[in-house]
Structure 1
Amino acid sequence: MTVDFQTWMRAVWTSIMEPSESARKALAMDIPVQALWTGLALVAVLNVILVALLQLLSPAPLAMQEQAFALSPFGFFAIISIFFVLFVYGIFYAGRMIGGQGTLQASLTIVVWFQAVSLTLEAIQFALVLISPAIGSIFGLLTLGALIWCFMNFINVLHGFDNLGKALGAIVLALIGTALISGIILAVLGVGPTGGMA
């Protein structure tokens, strides 16, 4: 299946404006697990690139920039990849804990789809920052709210919840679990903001 730029932007728009319907369509595609893991790795790589570019344009203090870039691209990729993988499992198990019906494959589909949408909006923000940092910052704040709403609806559909409160609960539990476990793993691997895995 070939997806051109216009088709993808319509899909992103639908994901924001009609997140529940978009989630159902994504799950109905029944994408193979191997392709989904490859997609997750790809969005991780693209996230590293975009975050690095945004940091270069950020008016953050020099000391903070030096600390951020002390971590090698490989280390940065390791952090994001570990977080993404654990978050997939976190969404799956957290949803199941509170009565959800989503499968691991479906959880992976939703996370990859959401990250692709988020990455697209990050790319738009990057373009806006080049034009005007103020406009880029405003766009970032607006999209943050839209993405939270979008992901809540995605999780609601994924696990078949009857309200968004349960979806929010699953997201919070997944984030807490992911942060704790990824923190332990990264500490063991020696990956941190002050260097490592160069």
Structure 2
Amino acid sequence: MIPDQFKDLVRQTLFQPQEAARVLIEMRLPRQGLWMALALLSILNSIVYSLSLQLSPPTDPSASLMPPAFHSPILFAVFLFGALAITVIALHYVGQGLGGAPGSMDDILVLLTWLQVLRLLVQLGVLVLVLVAPVLGALAVIVAAVWGIYILISFVDAAHRFGNMFKAAGVILLSLVAMAVGLSALLSLVGVARMGGG
């Protein structure tokens, strides 16, 4: 992808996410390459995130209660990639259950991978803003989060060919619930295994 195409796709994603999704899906990028790109982006995002913590450590006392994974770039990269992989799977199967188009796994994968590219750009931009104008940096984080939700809903809608943003939002909410339940069950099993081993 040449720089002009990249810039056009970024602009399209921000203001015409449905059209951007169609462009990305029609590229038909190989699944293995997309998983590798997602893993690389997880590493890059974790490095930028860790750098932002070093340059501008959180002043809130509750920050000390964050899991260790959020303080270690390696652990955070593994955690982020795992979370993204589970998100791809959850959005695929939940969407299928609600009547989504068949074969949406690759479509969701390419769209979430592209979202991680944008996330990396946003993190780099926020990193600079926080150093120059902390208030603007905080505002940029809020705007990016809200806009990111809208883009994600649009992308899920395009991947499943719903033609209904509310249905796409429902898929995201149900996927979050399914992921939370699955994670709770996994943590419970780990706790039981530790008790049994003790």
Query: Which residue does 1:152 correspond to in 2?
Result: 153
Cα shift at 1:60:
2.3
Query: 1:137 aligned to 2:138?
Result: yes
Residues 17 and 124 (structure 1), Cα distance of their counterparts in 2 relative to 1, 3 Å cut: same
Question: TM-score with structure 1 length normalisation?
Answer: 0.84
Which 5+ residue runs of structure 1 have no aligned equivalent?
Answer: 191-198
Query: Which residue does 1:12 correspond to in 2?
Result: 10
Task: Give the Cα separation in 2 of the matches to 1:82 and 1:146.
Answer: 24
Query: 1:118 aligned to 2:116?
Result: no
Equivalences for residues 39-188 of structure 1 within 5 A: 39-56=37-54, 57-61=56-60, 63-68=61-66, 70-71=68-69, 72-102=72-102, 103-182=104-183, 184-185=185-186
Deviation digits for residues 20-62 of structure 1 (CA, Å, limit 9, x no counterpart): 000000000000011100111011112211221222314323x
Query: Which residue does 2:23 correspond to in 1?
Result: 25
Shift >6 Å, 4+ stretches: 186-190
Percent identity (aligned): 26
Task: Give the Cα separation in 2 of the matches to 1:41 and 1:188.
Answer: 27
Task: Give the Cα separation in 1 of the matches to 2:149 and 2:174.
Answer: 15
Q: CA contact under 8 A between 2:122 and 2:144: conserved in structure 1? A: yes
Q: Which has the higher contact order (CA 8 A, sep 6+)?
A: 1
Residues 70 and 150 (structure 1), Cα distance of their counterparts in 2 relative to 1, 3 Å cut: closer
Task: Give the Cα separation in 1 of the matches to 2:157 and 2:5.
Answer: 25
Larger CA deviation: 77-86 vs 24-33: 77-86
Cα shift at 1:135:
0.5
Q: CA contact under 8 A between 2:46 and 2:74: conserved in structure 1? A: no
Larger CA deviation: 101-110 vs 148-157: 101-110
Question: TM-score with structure 2 length normalisation?
Answer: 0.84
Cα shift at 1:10:
3.3
Residues 189 and 17 (structure 1), Cα distance of their counterparts in 2 relative to 1, 3 Å cut: farther
Task: Give the Cα separation in 1 of the matches to 2:129 and 2:177.
Answer: 32
Larger CA deviation: 72-81 vs 154-163: 72-81
Residues 182 and 85 (structure 1), Cα distance of their counterparts in 2 relative to 1, 3 Å cut: farther
CA RMSD in angstroms, aligned pairs only: 2.3
Task: Give the Cα separation in 2 of the matches to 1:80 and 1:189.
Answer: 20
Q: CA contact under 8 A between 1:83 and 1:179: conserved in structure 2? A: no
Residues 141 and 169 (structure 1), Cα distance of their counterparts in 2 relative to 1, 3 Å cut: same
Code of the aligned partner of 1:51: Y
Larger CA deviation: 118-127 vs 142-151: 118-127
Bigger radius of gyration: 2
Task: Give the Cα separation in 2 of the matches to 1:179 and 1:133.
Answer: 33
How many residues end up aligned between the 2 structures? 187
More helix by share: 2
Secondary structure of 2:28's aligned partner:
coil
Task: Give the Cα separation in 1 of the matches to 2:187 and 2:39.
Answer: 18
Which 5+ residue runs of structure 2 have no aligned equivalent?
Answer: 192-198
Q: CA contact under 8 A between 1:19 and 1:154: conserved in structure 2? A: yes
Deviation digits for residues 131-157 of structure 1 (CA, Å, limit 9, x no counterpart): 111000111111111111111111111
Residues 137 and 125 (structure 1), Cα distance of their counterparts in 2 relative to 1, 3 Å cut: same
